[in-house]
Amino acid sequence: MVALRSNRPVVYPPVPAFGAPLTVRETDRAEATKPRLLDRVREAIRAHHYSRRTEETYVAWIRRYILFHGG
């Protein structure tokens, strides 16, 4: 069991019977198109015309920072 921060119980949808069609729900379009942090960093670095190696280094630094702080 996974510990959750909320006190509310987790409720999962029932598993469909064998042969029953499965439904697929799409996420909200605003959430689906929102770029992630490292993608935004890459876009900003490219807009400033930095080299690809500099981009890779900056992204690696940010990734290590996030992982170090438990993000």
Encoded amino acid at 44, one letter: A
pLDDT at residue 37, as a whole number: 92
How many percent of the chain have pLDDT more than 70? 62
Whether the CB-CB separation of 22 and 16 falls below 8 Å is answered with yes
- Tally of structural domains, the chain: 1
Residue 29 tokens read as 């379009």
In a domain, 14, yes or no: no
Cβ atoms of 10 and 4 within 8 Å: the answer is yes
The model carries a pTM of: 0.52
pLDDT of residue 8: 74
Average pLDDT for the chain: 80
Q: Domain of residue 51: give its range.
A: 35-68
Cβ-Cβ contacts under 8 Å for 66 (sequence gap 6 or more): 37
> Has residue 11 been placed in a domain?
no
Whether 16 maps to a domain, the answer reads no
Q: Is there a domain that residue 12 lies in?
A: no
Rg (C-alpha) for the chain, rounded Å, is 20
Instruction: Write down the pLDDT at residue 64.
Output: 95
